[in-house]
Structure 1
Amino acid sequence: MYKIMVIEDSNEIRNEIIVLLHKNGFDGYAPKLFDTIISDIRATNPHLILLDIQLPHRDGFQLCTEIRTFSRVPIIFVTSRDTDMDELMCMTLGADDYISKPYNTSILVARISALLKRTYNNSSQDHLKHGPITLDLATSRLEVEGQIVELTKNELKIMHYLFLHKERIVSRLDLVEYLWDNELFVDDNSLSVNINRIRNKLQPLGLEDFVKTKRGQGYLI
């Protein structure tokens, strides 16, 4: 599942885009604060960024320039500024595409899909591997030496986040916030229930300790 970061200061437009992304099979999310966007990009490593021009703290031009100093992540400007000079500036700074608001939702999704296909022209993004386990995002399964473990939607999201942060401790708060951002309404108690269910599913395969608890810190795979 492709992670797409939405950098947009309008709550209405940001939420609209994230819902659109989720409906079309993408993992859409947005940074909480505009003054920590660069660190958020480094931490979450998105597959694609949707970027507005007019933003607080730094405009989209400045952000694009800074992103290009450390990453070739695909960037699509989605903005109400629609002059030829704005588009030229975006492309000169290293953007991959430019879409003016108001946009056609079907065209936006098509542009995103086309850019992702050009950039990641393989199926490896649907399969994440750690140790003996492969997470198949397309079928919501864990595969262990030919054996299959079926996952629920919540379990898949939890494992996806842990796989993306493998060998790093993930706090319970980060997991809960990630699930809520993806419209999966999980509280602290139900997170524990889902983690235990995952462990129980892995236990017959001798991997009940694959998801480790770090007391007072969170989880680690």
Structure 2
Amino acid sequence: MKLSVHTFVSLDGVMQGPGGVQEDPSHGFDRGGWLVPHSGEGQLEPVAGWFGKAEAILLGRTTFQMMRAYWSQVTDPDNIVATALNHWQKYVVSNSLTDDDAAWGKTTVLRGDDVVEQVRRLKEQPGGELQVHGSWQLVRTLHDAGLVDVYRLIQFPVVVGDGKRLFADGAVPATYRITESQVVNGGAGAVALTLEQTAFATTGTGEFVVRDGRESTR
């Protein structure tokens, strides 16, 4: 399976608590729900397509608990996000959740200090995508381990200022290519991007120079 990461992100890279004030108030974050005033009809349309590619869902503990509280209430059979989260195979990374604590459809708890290796083994299984949604700390761990094959982002034209960022300082350098892009109308507008990894561990460097009066690179 490919491992793909999905999130909403602000212009300055914040991914924390986009959907509600109390969604993720950790570290004193008081700007939760920043996405809502900037959304409009059809703006989150790409999300259904994301879940349509999923074989299984992988979540961090905080995102798991937040999603379970919300999506377990959605019983509309035509809502693919609710169907995926309520009924498909899920994995949650946690050393504190018991199996009873994690009861939500087909859920398996990944425990221990070898989470990266456990995820690597999941990726070796056949099928569609192993999808991570939200899960800031888990995403950073998987990115730094070189396990993320695809990023799917919806970026909103708003600067949040503070909050957990998708790529905070110290992230391992990597190079991606944009394979899909779409300007999503509605509200203030947004850009949906799909990025696939091309090379890990280096972004390469260079500089612009002038040779014989012409601009060039080296």
Q: TM-score, normalised by structure 2?
A: 0.35
Q: Which of the pair is proportionally richer in helix?
A: 1
Structure having the larger proportion of residues in strand: 2
Query: Does 1 or 2 have the higher relative contact order (CA < 8 Å, sep 6+)?
Result: 2
How high is the TM-score relative to the length of structure 1?
Answer: 0.35
